[in-house]
Structure 1
């Protein structure tokens, strides 16, 4: 957080302390006068109510800001990845950096436990299958729960999740055919 924002937080907390002191003073005054706090409707009662409501308003404002800030920090994990750039890190408090680190650790733990990478394909593909043409003999390949023979010039309709690992490993043996607009360019493997 910027220093100015930290100063605003400090100012709101000081204001809350002042409201709390006034609230306590008014309640004490009512008790000293042997007035029933629940049923008495006098100046002290209404003053205490105003200070109490001011405390609640300030609390709601600070909580809303912190909630929004936490959402932004969580979104960094999905948009930027597990490591924040220096220019973002320098704008975070230590506790916010720890929050980001812990949030990333929870996501990583969940993904490893479920054996799924949630950061891949943030936009769901239009079709879970892709059509590939084999440009060179690859031979027998194990894809998920089955194996397939990838021979030269053969055409296959395969699950995207089964073929993604090959797209990044092999460069010129297979071509993903057009018609899959979500792919930026034809991939070869």
Structure 2
């Protein structure tokens, strides 16, 4: 039945929202929906061609209703495709901002260099080639933006901090970081009272846990 494939795609999108990783691109399903849209377009064209160029909707209500239903099905399929790809694009952008999947950003290198964003390893298991290209292009754009604002941590949380300094526990060894107040060795299970801005990125990456 028309629309069933698009419904499956939306179900996959809903599942994607609850996952920590971006699942494989549904190539077969997307291609099937595109073929269905083309079939619907073909059916509409056939019906209209049979009536000639002077056809008016008021002349045949049954035919007009059939054409209307086919067009609604096409529109719904297109909206589902757009929603699916928009969600995946948002997840790709979030991955770039978080930097969770890159291994080229050194924990001990407090510069977190802009080059790292444009030299990410291929982590796109099951991604569409266009998604990999978008991912790297977005990373290059972010690296360029960071290069213009070296004094601002653009990847930091958008929530204003309640406290300037926080208590943290190190969940796994993260080497040493340079802070405004000196060098800190982040060894597993150690605890520190540090400025939140110095360790916010490490909290996002799961190396450090903020204590309540």
Q: What is the alpha-carbon distance in structure 2 between the residues aligned to residue 114 and residue 92 of structure 1?
A: 31
- Structure 2: tracts of 5 or more residues without a match: 1-22, 103-116, 166-176, 185-191, 200-207
Paired residues in the alignment total 142
Distance 1:121 1:66, change over 3 A: closer
Q: What is the alpha-carbon distance in structure 2 between the residues aligned to residue 71 and residue 99 of structure 1?
A: 11
Query: Who is 1:67 aligned against?
Result: 86
Greater RCO (Cα-Cα under 8 Å, separation 6 or more): 2
Q: What is the alpha-carbon distance in structure 2 between the residues aligned to residue 74 and residue 107 of structure 1?
A: 10
Alignment of 1:33-182 (within 5 A): 34-37=54-57, 39-79=58-98, 80=100, 81=102, 82=117, 88-115=123-150, 116-120=152-156, 124-128=160-164, 167=179, 170-171=182-183, 178=193
Q: CA deviation at 1:21?
A: 0.4
Q: Which has the larger radius of gyration?
A: 1
- Structure 1: tracts of 5 or more residues without a match: 131-164
Contact kept? 2:120, 2:136, Cα under 8 Å = no
RMSD: 3.4
SS at match of 1:89: coil
TM-score, normalised on structure 2?
Answer: 0.55
Q: What is the alpha-carbon distance in structure 2 between the residues aligned to residue 68 and residue 74 of structure 1?
A: 10
